[in-house]
A and B are shown apart, each in its own frame.
Chain A
Amino acid sequence: MPNSLIKANSMQKKYSRIFILFWTALLLISLVLPLFAGDYYTRFISLIFIYIILAIGYNISAGFSGITSFAFAAHYGVGAYVSAVAITRYNMPFLVGLLAGAIASGIVGLAVSLPSSKVKHHYLALISIGLLGIVQQVLNEWQWFTGGSGGMYIPSWNFFNIVLDTFQKYYFIFVIMLFCVVLQRNLLKSRWGRDLIAIKNNEIAAAGVGINFSKYRIAGYFLCSMLAGLAGSVYASFSGYLSPDTFNFEFTVFILLMAVVGGEGTLTGPIIGAVFVTVIPMLFNATPDLKQIVFGALLVILPQIMPAGIAGNIKKYFKEIDNNKYILEKAEQNEFDIARNVTENNTGTVDILVVKGLTKRFGGVTAVDGLDMTIKRGTIHSLIGPNGAGKSTTVNMITGIDKPTEGSIIFNGEEITGNKMFNLTRKGLSRTYQHVRLFNNLSVVENVAIGGRLSYTYSIIDSILRTRKMKKEERKSFHEAMEYLKIIDLEDKANYDPESLSAGQQKLLELARALYMKPELLVLDEPCAGLSETETKEFSKIIKKIRNAGISILLIEHHMDLVMEISDYITVIDYGKKIAEGDPVSVNSNPVVRTAYLGEGA
């Protein structure tokens, strides 16, 4: 057990004691507060709770799923009106009304998230402005539904035939808020949260570990808009009166500001933001016009000087609090065996990858031109060629990033031409990238652990309830991730940011992640570029170990010594065409290859 980990652990224990104390105190204060605060302040704090729910919704969207949306005022409004109509017009029970509001809002939210697989994020922001406009007009015009601009009244809050007073409402809202806070925390501190963070960090690498990011975005935004709708539903019954003007642009500003002040992408940001932004306006009671200008100014300034918000700034001083708890538990003495963790193939085909007539044209340029190549199972197959020869394009086609113009790719006897990258990872293909693609908002060990995400079976309910099944699987995957970190000798940096590692260590970390995906074919795109001589030697040892464990490897590399030493077979391409292939000795002595590499007169 490395010392640094033990030290970090004691810090973590210390911090978590402080935090638990702090939250418990806050909880107790919230519980007894209505007994002392008057009616006005009880209502005021209830309102803050509602805003916390709303802010959590926005936070999951903008902070975690990477969708900056202006439509949250609309989601909130849809939730409010639908629940109000359900309760007043259709006499639904109060709780059913709440649910109806949340679901309706989630469905409306699909308008924003459905195109997310097709367009850039800022288009979603534009769609969300359009949606806000539509909802506002509908609320104003659809008289029989909403009562139009005159507003509508919701009768007293009736809960199983008991009419709640301000205090009872307070506790009811408090419970819902608490539920949402816990929901946010439990979801985001599970595989789902890590997947969302991964997508926001790096879409390509996320697809590379098997995440279907458009599906995630749609589901994530559905949840966010449901939370906003829930907040709206609660608000409708709480305030007793709805007017379309409540859900306007100014309210959108308010929501954005909660996230910006509190800190997007942090768990406590919504709480801090909601409190601050609800309290700030009280300073402007005398000059309401000025309030909006100050809000606008904060929106301009804060993202530039304090991008992580208040919560993010506080967290800087308590970094260790987020450390993973499982990684300290087990210290296996015997050396980790990659072979034990290899997925046994059941197809039995000798050729793991067959590429036929592969061609890629970009505009007028043919980057890869009718390439044929066969990789035998259990070998290290190198693809080499001068810069610009088409190696990266070839690999991108094999791993599903680029679509081939012509030709076919057969993996394990199955045609995979044109398959999406996230599907290929499921079939047993994983890769590293020429320019390192790590998830910089996840820790080093989480970067490895996410490679094992395909082996998780726990459901979203398991994560919300933090069931034993969930904990067991999390523990197992982090234990395994630590083993992979041991192979690359990075276990003492398990809780670091990937950005703090050296270039070589980052490459190794990426390899560990790809390896933990338990692939049958591992594609390495220039793994040794930027590595020192000793690091390269270390790397070649690891690669051989992987091959000996039964994993086939497609290697693209410039380090000729390395290629010649470890390859079982080599394909040389130039101008997108194969110019030679064979074992290292025959390729090494091939004059065509020498010319291609060193130019004339070699």
Chain B
Amino acid sequence: MLQVENLTIGYGKTEVVHNISFHVQKGEIITILGANGAGKSTILNTIVGLHQAKDGSIRFQGKEISKARPDQLVKQGIRLVPEGRQIFPQHTVLENILLGAYIEKNANKIDSRLQSIFERFPRLEERKNQMGGTLSGGEQQMLAIARALMTDPTLLILDEPSLGLAPIIVGEVFDLLKQISSSGVTVLLVEQMANSALKISDRAYVLETGRIVLEGKGEEIRNNSDIAKAYLGSI
């Protein structure tokens, strides 16, 4: 579904991601693991069109998308839940969700999706008239995901959804991702919390200083203590 080949990305003269390739198949949950500064967010931002690659190709459902704008990609069904959630703190919860459906002009579709979102996230319905900024971290993450689901994406990309969340909430988030995945959405995930992420992943890539140094099945990587030690630190 998503095919990244020989991707090289940089800021100014400095190269951050060097010639990486990976792919995501339909229905999979894929995790990219790596330490801070390894270039994970840069890769995701480039896939969704916020940043331009220096070299290489990104294909989505067979189409080259490395030059596309974010709004075009949203229309094609790629949604990113950005790092740190990035909800709009001075918009109400409802407004945040509606912003997620900005490109959808059909009011009926918006209504029905809003209904199903509220069914899935009853907490958000309870708080729909509160400002986004007043939500707890976990609720904000739910909101950020809900917002992305408003256009029925085919590929949902998440940048460190566990960031700053309590372990129990992290569990909820990953359960939710599993659910979303089983409803037919392909999920690409970038994480530092290796264990929780690997548990739900079909396959994973390990990224180190802008290079993919390892790939394999989620369980394999999780059970391989050497690998875990080498790339995820000794803890």
Given a CB threshold of 8 Å, the question of whether A touches B is answered with yes
Residue among A363, A388, A528, A596 making CB contact with B167, cutoff 8 Å? A596
Residue among A363, A532, A575, A600 making CB contact with B209, cutoff 8 Å? A532
The answer for the CA separation of A602 and B192 in the assembled complex, in Å, is 13
Interface CB pairs A-B, < 8 A, 21 = A363-B89, A364-B134, A365-B137, A387-B36, A387-B192, A499-B14, A503-B14, A528-B37, A530-B209, A531-B209, A532-B208, A560-B235, A564-B234, A575-B166, A593-B235, A595-B167, A597-B235, A598-B235, A599-B162, A599-B196, A600-B195
Given A363-B133, A598-B195, A601-B196, decide whether A388 and B84 contact each other with a Cβ distance below 8 A.
yes
Is A594 close to B, CB under 8 A? yes
Q: Is the CB of A503 within 8 A of B16?
A: yes
Is A287 close to B, CB under 8 A? no
B153-172: contact bitstring with A at CB < 8 Å (1 yes, 0 no)?
A: 00000001011101110110
Chain B residues positioned under 8 Å from A528 (CB to CB): 37
Q: How many residues of A contact B (CB 8 A)?
A: 37
The answer for the CA separation of A61 and B158 in the assembled complex, in Å, is 45
Is B110 close to A, CB under 8 A? no
Residue among A500, A598, A599 making CB contact with B13, cutoff 8 Å? A500
Chain B residues positioned under 8 Å from A533 (CB to CB): 208-209
Query: Which residue from chain A places its CB closest to the CB of B193 in the assembled complex?
Result: A599
Tell me the smallest distance from the CB of A585 to a CB of chain B, in Å.
11
The answer for the CA separation of A596 and B168 in the assembled complex, in Å, is 11
Q: Is the CB of B134 within 8 A of A600?
A: no
Q: A588-B234, A599-B196 are in contact. List 18 more A-B contacts (CB 8 A).
A: A386-B164, A386-B192, A501-B14, A503-B14, A530-B38, A530-B209, A531-B209, A532-B209, A560-B233, A560-B235, A575-B166, A596-B167, A598-B195, A599-B162, A599-B195, A599-B197, A600-B167, A602-B195
Query: Which residue from chain B places its CB closest to the CB of A532 in the assembled complex?
Result: B209
Secondary structure at the B interface, as helix, strand, loop or mixed, is loop
B53-81: contact bitstring with A at CB < 8 Å (1 yes, 0 no)?
A: 00000000000000000000000000000
Q: Is the CB of A600 within 8 A of B164?
A: no
A359-377: contact bitstring with B at CB < 8 Å (1 yes, 0 no)?
A: 0000111000000000000
Report, as a range, how many residues of chain B touch the other chain.
35 or more
Q: Is the CB of A599 within 8 A of B234?
A: no
Chain B residues positioned under 8 Å from A593 (CB to CB): 235
Is A161 close to B, CB under 8 A? no
Given A363-B133, A387-B192, A599-B193, decide whether A588 and B209 contact each other with a Cβ distance below 8 A.
no
Chain A residues positioned under 8 Å from B199 (CB to CB): 601
Is A558 close to B, CB under 8 A? yes
Is B1 close to A, CB under 8 A? no
Q: Is the CB of B37 within 8 A of A530?
A: yes
The answer for the CA separation of A599 and B210 in the assembled complex, in Å, is 25
Is A124 close to B, CB under 8 A? no
The answer for the CA separation of A597 and B171 in the assembled complex, in Å, is 13
Chain A residues positioned under 8 Å from B37 (CB to CB): 503, 526, 528-531
